[in-house]
C-alpha cells in the first residue's frame, strides 16, 4: 500500500513559523509512516505553481501573522487545490495578539477545499525587533505543540474532519485592537496594506550584495544593484532584514516604529497558545 503523504506548507518570512510547522509535523511523522513533502510559499516562484491534494493527504500549514494573515494569503491559498483534504493550520505571532488571523485561515482553507481538523495560534519571537518573545517557543510551548500535534492526528485518524470549537479573535491586552476589529467588520472592503512610508528601509555600506535578501523577498521587491526597494510591492514581512547576513538592512520608518512601540507597551503579559479542535 502506498504511504500516506504529509505536506508541510508554510509562509515564514523570518523562520519561526517554519520551525513550528516542522515541530508539529515531526511529532505526527513519529506516529505513522509518511512520505513528507515541503512547500515553501515565501518564494514567489512556488506561489505561481498549483498543488493538488487528495482526501488521503494531510496538510500542516503555517503562516506568520500581523494581527491578520500576511497580505499574500489570498495568493497562497489560491495555489493550493484541495479536495476535502484534512488541514492542520497554525499561525504564529510575537506575543502581542493574533487578531483575526485564525478566522481568516479557517475561511481561506475552506474556500480552497480543505477540511479543517484543528487550528493553533502559537507565540514565537517577534520578527520586527526581537524585543518580545525572543525565547519562544520555549519548553512549555514545545509540550503544548507536541500535544496539539498528537491530538490533531488522533482526530484525523478518527475521520472527524470538522472544527467544533468556536473560533475567537485574539487581541492580547491591546484595547485598540478591539476597535480595529469592529472597524474591519464594518468595512470589509478596506484592504489591509501599509502605506509606502511605513515600509521605508535602507541598506548600509555593510551590504556585500550577496543576494540573500533578494532570494528571500516574497514579492521580488529588491533591486540590490541599486539598493532600492519597490515599496508598492513590499509587504513589510521583515524577511530581508532578518535574513541579511551582514545586518545591513533596517527600517527607516518612524511611523512604523512608533506603532511597534505602542504594541510593545501593550504586550507585556505572557500570551499562551490558543488551540481549536
Ligand atoms: C509587519 C509585521 C507585523 C506584525 N504584527 C504583529 C502583531 O500584530 N502581533 C504580534 O503579536 N506579532 C506581530 N508580528 C510578529 C510576527 O507575527 C511573529 O514574529 C511571527 O512569529 C513571525 O514569523 P516568522 O518568523 O515565520 O516570520 C508582526 C511582524 C511583522 C513583520
Quick one: which atom of ligand 1 is closest to the CA of 133?
19
Q: CA 81, CA 177: separation in Å to the nearest integer?
A: 33
Q: CA 90, CA 101: separation in Å to the nearest integer?
A: 10
Mutation choice for ligand 1 from 127, 131, 174, 181, CB with most ligand atoms inside 8 A: 127
Q: Are residues 24 and 92 in the same domain?
A: yes
Q: Which contiguous run of DSSP H or E holds residue 109?
A: helix 101-111
Quick one: which atom of ligand 1 is closest to the CA of 236?
1
Residue 117 lies in a domain: yes
Q: Are residues 87 and 152 in the same domain?
A: yes
Residue 157 lies in a domain: yes
Written as nine digits, the cell of 99 is 487578531
Q: What pLDDT is attached to residue 189?
A: 65
Q: What pLDDT is attached to residue 45?
A: 97
**Angle CA 124–127–133, to nearest 5:** 40
Q: Are residues 11 and 104 in the same domain?
A: yes
Nearest Cα to Cα of residue 58 among 15, 95, 21: 21
Q: CA 188, CA 128: separation in Å to the nearest integer?
A: 26
Q: CA 70, CA 6: separation in Å to the nearest integer?
A: 24
For residue 253, the CA-to-ligand 1 centroid distance in Å is 17
Q: Are residues 65 and 150 in the same domain?
A: yes
Q: Say whether 2 sits in a helix, a strand or coil.
A: coil
Last residue of a domain, one of 126, 157, 172: 172
Q: Are residues 115 and 36 in the same domain?
A: yes
Quick one: which atom of ligand 1 is closest to the CA of 67?
8
For residue 65, the CA-to-ligand 1 centroid distance in Å is 5
Q: Which residues approach ligand 1 with their CB closer than 6 A?
A: 12-17, 64-67, 92-97, 124-128, 236-238
Residue 272 lies in a domain: no
Q: CA 273, CA 211: separation in Å to the nearest integer?
A: 35
Quick one: which atom of ligand 1 is closest to the CA of 16?
25
Pairing of β 228-229 and β 222-223: antiparallel
CATH number of the domain within which 232 lies: 3.30.70.20
Mutation choice for ligand 1 from 19, 21, 40, 65, CB with most ligand atoms inside 8 A: 65
Q: Are residues 64 and 133 in the same domain?
A: yes
For residue 126, the CA-to-ligand 1 centroid distance in Å is 6
Q: Are residues 134 and 31 in the same domain?
A: yes
Q: CA 193, CA 65: separation in Å to the nearest integer?
A: 13
Can you tell me which residue has the cell 511605513? Answer: 198
- Can you give the residue range of the structural domain that contains 43? 4-172
Q: Are residues 126 and 233 in the same domain?
A: no
Residue 110 lies in a domain: yes
Counting the structural domains of the chain, the total is 2
Q: Are residues 155 and 214 in the same domain?
A: no
Mutation choice for ligand 1 from 62, 126, 216, CB with most ligand atoms inside 8 A: 126
For residue 32, the CA-to-ligand 1 centroid distance in Å is 32
Q: Are residues 23 and 121 in the same domain?
A: yes
CATH number of the domain within which 141 lies: 3.40.50.360
Residue 179 lies in a domain: no
Q: CA 203, CA 214: separation in Å to the nearest integer?
A: 12
Q: Quick one: DSSP state of residue 150? A: H
CB atoms within 10 A of CB 73: 19
For residue 179, the CA-to-ligand 1 centroid distance in Å is 20
Residue 270 lies in a domain: no
The separation between CA 35 and the C-alpha centre of its own chain, rounded to angstroms, equals 24
Nearest Cα to Cα of residue 72 among 263, 238, 233: 233
Mutation choice for ligand 1 from 66, 131, 134, CB with most ligand atoms inside 8 A: 66
Residue 185 lies in a domain: no
Q: Are residues 17 and 147 in the same domain?
A: yes
Q: What pLDDT is attached to residue 197?
A: 84
Quick one: which atom of ligand 1 is closest to the CA of 19?
26
Q: Which contiguous run of DSSP H or E holds residue 177?
A: helix 175-186
Q: What pLDDT is attached to residue 190?
A: 63
Residues of the chain with pLDDT under 70: 1, 174-182, 184, 187-193, 263-268
Residue 101 lies in a domain: yes
Q: Are residues 116 and 214 in the same domain?
A: no
Q: Quick one: DSSP state of residue 197? A: G
Amino acid at each position: 500500500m502506498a504511504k500516506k503523504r504529509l505536506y508541510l506548507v508554510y509562509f515564514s518570512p523570518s523562520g519561526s513559523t517554519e520551525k513550528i510547522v516542522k515541530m508539529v509535523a515531526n511529532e505526527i511523522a513519529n506516529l505513522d509512516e509518511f512520505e513528507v513533502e515541503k512547500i515553501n510559499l515565501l518564494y514567489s516562484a512556488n506561489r505561481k505553481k498549483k498543488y493538488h491534494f487528495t482526501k488521503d493527504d494531510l496538510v500542516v500549514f503555517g503562516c506568520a501573522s500581523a494581527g491578520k494573515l500576511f497580505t499574500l494569503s489570498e495568493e497562497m491559498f489560491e495555489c493550493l487545490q484541495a479536495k476535502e483534504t484534512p488541514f492542520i493550520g497554525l499561525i504564529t505571532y510575537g506575543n502581542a495578539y493574533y487578531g483575526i488571523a485564525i478566522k481568516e485561515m479557517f475561511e481561506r482553507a475552506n474556500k480552497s477545499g480543505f477540511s479543517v481538523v484543528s487550528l493553533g495560534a502559537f507565540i514565537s519571537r517577534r520578527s520586527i525587533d526581537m524585543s518580545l518573545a525572543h525565547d519562544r517557543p520555549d519548553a512549555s510551548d514545545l509540550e503544548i505543540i507536541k500535544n496539539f500535534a498528537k491530538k490533531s492526528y488522533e482526530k484525523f485518524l478518527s475521520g472527524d474532519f470538522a472544527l467544533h470549537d468556536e473560533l475567537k479573535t485574539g487581541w492580547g491586552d491591546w484595547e485598540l485592537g478591539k476597535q480595529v476589529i469592529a472597524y474591519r467588520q464594518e468595512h470589509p472592503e478596506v484592504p489591509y496594506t501599509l502605506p509606502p512610508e511605513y515600509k521605508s528601509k535602507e541598506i548600509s555600506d555593510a551590504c556585500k550584495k550577496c543576494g540573500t535578501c533578494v532570494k528571500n523577498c516574497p514579492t521580488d521587491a529588491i533591486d540590490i544593484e541599486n539598493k532600492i526597494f519597490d515599496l508598492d510591492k513590499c509587504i513589510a514581512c521583515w524577511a530581508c532584514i532578518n535574513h541579511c547576513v551582514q545586518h545591513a538592512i533596517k527600517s527607516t520608518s518612524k511611523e512604523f516604529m512608533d506603532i511597534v512601540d505602542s504594541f510593545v507597551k501593550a504586550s507585556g503579559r505572557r500570551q499562551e497558545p490558543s488551540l481549536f479542535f
